[in-house]
Amino acid sequence: MPDGKGFEAMDFVASAGVDPERVDAEALRERYRAERAHRVDTDRTAVVELTGERARWAADPFTAPVPRAPVADTVELVVVGAGFGGLLTAIRFRELGFTRIRLIDTAGDVGGVWYWNRYPGAMCDVDALTYLPRLEETGYVPRDRYASAGEILDYARTLAAQHDLTDLALFHTTVTGLRWDEGAGRWMTTTDRGDEIASTFVMVADGYFNRPRIPAIPGLDDFRGHTFHTSRWDHAYTGGADGGPLTGLAGRRVGVIGTGATAAQVVPPLARGAEHLVVFQRTPSTVGVRANGPLDPGVVADLAPGWQQERIHNFNAIVSGRRQPVDLVRDGWTDYHQAQRANLLHMEALRARVDATVDDPVTAEALKPYYAYFCTRPVFHDEYLETFNRPNTTLVDTGGRGIERLTERGVVVGGEEYALDCLVFATGFEYGTAYTRKTGFDVVGRDGLRLSEKYATRFSTLHGLMSRGFPNLFMVPGGNMQSAVTLNVLYTLDENALHAAHVAAGTRGRGARCFDVDAEAEEKWVAECVAHARDNAEFLESCTPNRFNAEGDLSRRALANANHPLPVLEFFDLLRAWRDEGSMPGLVFDE
Ligand code: NAP
């Protein structure tokens, strides 16, 4: 099946041997309710601060900082974050005539999540021809249908080089504050390297998944073995920096906590390298068919100009529920939506896939997810489930409770201690915490207004991107920030970058020193999000706890902290129409 040419299992339910007539829907729903019920009473939100000894879990293992003198100068745009969000912002601003642009990043290079996530097996789940931006401009043809993390990082470097974006970039530099100077009509950005950079505009594009999440597990610091987070992979310990086998793990017992999208990718290479691998599971993922394989180098040669935008639109239309005459991507994401398959049957097929793949019936049962499809982020992999057939791999299911504690020797679950030499945290990233905790710095706008105070109880934006009291500032929206969301995050990053660049160019074009958001327009935008904030609540409340449903308790989240109600393509059509209208309604300008 995985021939790399396309998704062949179009009738996934039938091919998995599921007979719709024999599915007991009510029994399954009852099982779903039970799986949720015994998870919601555990505290799933406690994380530890990565300071002191624990700072090692966030440190950069990839490149050493280079000493340099502090920078003090004035540019047109400061971009906080040099991942794809930052790069696309810089490119869009350049296209509208802004030249002096400084990217600032804690990392040692461009790439953002792809700089950090270099764990073995890391790749992108969105097909490369859709995911990698501006392929028609760079002329790059991805090697495989789904690109590896290394290929994506190289591509980010290619984009940065082609647009000369790194000449002013400051790497291994963490922003410590942003302050609006009303007199000068500028932002002042300060950093941990002593820099003071004035700029007319600022974009904060620091990513959704920028803080590694280490859960507050009792005994966390007692474990004497080696530990690291998947986004700070220790190749010096494991080997395999060149993409080869993890020779450093020979003879070692390795544990991995987590079974999400990252774990699914890292478990197979870990099992190949370690003497023994123990996978600690709290919630099983839905693991669909990946079907990766090489792309024909001539795959795009005969396509008409504009093919990538067409593909991106086709993908985003389908995954936001709009059936299309043709499915250009034909993979596990689009197949589910395009076939408009019943959620329950799809889940039955995924569970049948576990039975068909995993030999040991007890392990297979534990790996079956009992919740609705899209409660958690779907995963696609053709080796993850298979790995549990290896004699050197053990699944330890924690029955939804998480691991009990760490000891000097290893991990305890159900009163049993699993001795380990090394423990890998595939525990994801902080999500849904306060905005200025995510950024790591506060933003001080007009009249001393602090963003931490303004956003203390709820987000408040226009277009999910700008906020009153913070002139000439853009913030790339993360989840629930009153903007549109889609699986294809880079599409939203690029559209937001384009929108910000137009607002900045429009401000300059009017001869204004700054824009700010009109109070009424902002309230109206927030009200639209609030009005629809509970549209999806019934579904989310039926799900096992996870980051999409505020770990099982939606009341933890303010109503305004929601996505915009429009589907992604319609949302960006709305912004495009707003730009085309020309008068920039909802913004006020200081001459
Ligand atoms: P994640 O989805 O947050 O998964 C974290 C895992 O750790 C979950 O299995 C979680 O269990 C488990 N966990 C957390 N605390 C635990 C505890 N105390 N005891 C036991 N288990 C614990 O993180 P991720 O897999 O790194 O993925 C993060 C995001 O990155 C994804 O949602 C995705 O958007 C992105 N990603 C994308 C790709 C791609 O292909 N484009 C690849 C990898 C990641 P529960 O499920 O019970 O919470």
* Same domain as 282, residue 178: no
The letter for the amino acid at 168 is L
| Position 4 pLDDT exceeds 70 | no
Q: What is the tens place of the pLDDT at every residue in 340-361?
A: 989 999 999 999 999 999 999 9
* Same domain as 230, residue 274: yes
Within a domain: residue 310? no
Return the closest-CA partner of residue 290 out of 164, 499, 145. 145
Return the closest-CA partner of residue 125 out of 267, 284, 289, 279. 289
Sequence-distant (≥ 6) Cβ neighbours of residue 29 within 8 angstroms: none
Which residues form the domain of 243? 12-23+215-292+323-425
* Same domain as 226, residue 205: no
Residue 6: the pLDDT is 52
Return the closest-CA partner of residue 540 out of 343, 350, 376, 346. 376
d(CA 107, CA 170): 9
d(CA 278, CA 238): 16
Atom 4 in ligand 1: residue holding the nearest Cα: 260
Residue 1: the pLDDT is 36
Q: What share of the chain is helix, strand, coil (3-state, %, to 5)?
A: 35, 15, 50
Within a domain: residue 379? yes
Sequence-distant (≥ 6) Cβ neighbours of residue 282 within 8 angstroms: 258, 259, 398, 400, 401, 402
* Same domain as 110, residue 18: no
Domain boundary among 425, 450, 484: 425
Query: Percent of the chain at pLDDT above 90?
Result: 95
d(CA 377, CA 121): 18
Within a domain: residue 247? yes
Atom 12 in ligand 1: residue holding the nearest Cα: 258
Pocket of ligand 1 contains residue 260 by CB under 6 Å: yes
* Same domain as 579, residue 461: yes
Pocket of ligand 1 contains residue 283 by CB under 6 Å: yes
3-state secondary structure of 393: strand
Q: What is the tens place of the pLDDT at every residue in 103-150?
A: 999 999 999 999 999 999 999 999 999 999 999 999 999 999 999 999
Q: Helices (H), strands (E): how many in the chain?
A: 20, 19
Atom 17 in ligand 1: residue holding the nearest Cα: 402
Half-sphere exposure of 588 (CA within 13 A, CB side): 12
Q: What is the tens place of the pLDDT at every residue in 47-66?
A: 999 999 999 999 999 999 99
Q: Which of 257, 285, 315 to mutate to test the pocket of ligand 1 (most atoms within 8 A of CB)?
A: 257
Residue 41: the pLDDT is 84
* Same domain as 448, residue 504: yes
Within a domain: residue 57? no
| Position 474 pLDDT exceeds 60 | yes
**Measured from the CA of 428, which atom of ligand 1 is nearest?**
23
- When pLDDT is averaged across residues 17-34 and rounded to a whole number, the result is 95
Residue 243 alpha carbon to ligand 1 centre in Å: 22
Atom 19 in ligand 1: residue holding the nearest Cα: 402
Strand partners, 425: 229, 257
Within a domain: residue 81? yes
Residue 10: the pLDDT is 53
Domain boundary among 425, 458, 475: 425
Residue 479: the pLDDT is 87
Query: In the chain, what's the furthest Cα-to-Cα distance?
Result: 72
- Contacts by 14-23 with C-beta closer than 8 Å and gap 24+? 15/349, 16/348, 16/349, 16/350, 16/352, 16/353, 16/356, 17/352, 17/356, 18/345, 18/348, 18/349, 18/352, 20/342, 20/345, 23/344, 23/345, 23/348
Q: How far is CA 538 from CA 122, 375, 531, in A?
A: 34, 11, 15
**Measured from the CA of 217, which atom of ligand 1 is nearest?**
18
* Same domain as 502, residue 474: yes
Any idea what DSSP says for residue 134? T
Q: What is the tens place of the pLDDT at every residue in 268-294?
A: 999 999 999 999 999 999 999 999 999
Q: What is the mean pLDDT of the chain?
A: 96
| Position 83 pLDDT exceeds 90 | yes
Do you know the residue count of the chain?
Answer: 591
Residue 389: the pLDDT is 98
Atom 32 in ligand 1: residue holding the nearest Cα: 377
- When pLDDT is averaged across residues 1-6 and rounded to a whole number, the result is 44
Residue 526 alpha carbon to ligand 1 centre in Å: 30
Which region, left, alpha or beta, applies to residue 428 given φ > 0 means left and ψ of -120 to 50 means alpha?
left
* Same domain as 435, residue 405: no
Residue 216 alpha carbon to ligand 1 centre in Å: 15
Residue 12: the pLDDT is 87
Strand partners, 417: 412
**Measured from the CA of 261, which atom of ligand 1 is nearest?**
25
Strand partners, 281: 397
Name the more confident of 124 and 15: 124
**Measured from the CA of 124, which atom of ligand 1 is nearest?**
40
d(CA 314, CA 568): 12
- When pLDDT is averaged across residues 41-51 and rounded to a whole number, the result is 91
Pocket of ligand 1 contains residue 262 by CB under 6 Å: yes
Are 212 and 229 contacting, i.e. CB atoms less than 8 angstroms apart?
yes
Which stretch of DSSP H or E encloses residue 579?
helix 568-581
The letter for the amino acid at 255 is G
Beta strands in 433-489 (DSSP E): 442-444, 473-475
- Identify the CATH number of the domain in which residue 537 sits: 3.50.50.60
Atom 20 in ligand 1: residue holding the nearest Cα: 402
- Whole-model pTM: value is 0.97
Residue 213 alpha carbon to ligand 1 centre in Å: 9
Q: What is the tens place of the pLDDT at every residue in 166-213?
A: 999 999 999 999 999 999 999 999 999 999 999 999 999 999 999 999
* Same domain as 539, residue 396: no
Residue 590 alpha carbon to ligand 1 centre in Å: 45
Are 158 and 17 contacting, i.e. CB atoms less than 8 angstroms apart?
no
Pocket of ligand 1 contains residue 490 by CB under 6 Å: no
Residue 280 alpha carbon to ligand 1 centre in Å: 12
Strand partners, 72: 196
Within a domain: residue 567? yes
d(CA 444, CA 451): 6
Atom 22 in ligand 1: residue holding the nearest Cα: 258
Pocket of ligand 1 contains residue 481 by CB under 6 Å: no
- When pLDDT is averaged across residues 13-31 and rounded to a whole number, the result is 94
d(CA 424, CA 393): 15
Residue 283 alpha carbon to ligand 1 centre in Å: 10
d(CA 467, CA 497): 16
* Same domain as 280, residue 193: no
- Give the strand pairing for 186-191 and 175-181: antiparallel
Residue 2: the pLDDT is 39
Atom 41 in ligand 1: residue holding the nearest Cα: 124
Any idea what DSSP says for residue 22? G
Per the structure block, which two tokens stand in for 137? 């401009």
Pocket of ligand 1 contains residue 282 by CB under 6 Å: yes
> At 9, is the pLDDT very low, low, confident or very high (cuts 50, 70, 90)?
very low
Within a domain: residue 530? yes
d(CA 435, CA 430): 11
Pocket of ligand 1 contains residue 258 by CB under 6 Å: yes
| Position 560 pLDDT exceeds 80 | yes
Residue 427 alpha carbon to ligand 1 centre in Å: 5
Residue 203 alpha carbon to ligand 1 centre in Å: 28
Are 77 and 90 contacting, i.e. CB atoms less than 8 angstroms apart?
yes
φ and ψ at 462, to 5 degrees?
Answer: -115, 125
Pocket of ligand 1 contains residue 576 by CB under 6 Å: no
- When pLDDT is averaged across residues 395-419 and rounded to a whole number, the result is 97
Domain boundary among 391, 425, 459: 425
- When pLDDT is averaged across residues 88-95 and rounded to a whole number, the result is 98
* Same domain as 551, residue 493: yes
Sequence-distant (≥ 6) Cβ neighbours of residue 529 within 8 angstroms: 482, 560, 562, 563, 564, 565
Residue whose pair of structure tokens reads 């639109």 in the numeric block = 313
Return the closest-CA partner of residue 426 out of 211, 250, 267, 217. 267
Q: How far is CA 142 from CA 154, 221, 250, 290, 353, in A?
A: 11, 42, 33, 17, 29
Give how many domains the chain has, as a whole number: 2
Sequence-distant (≥ 6) Cβ neighbours of residue 531 within 8 angstroms: 565
Within a domain: residue 54? no
* Same domain as 266, residue 348: yes
Any idea what DSSP says for residue 38? H
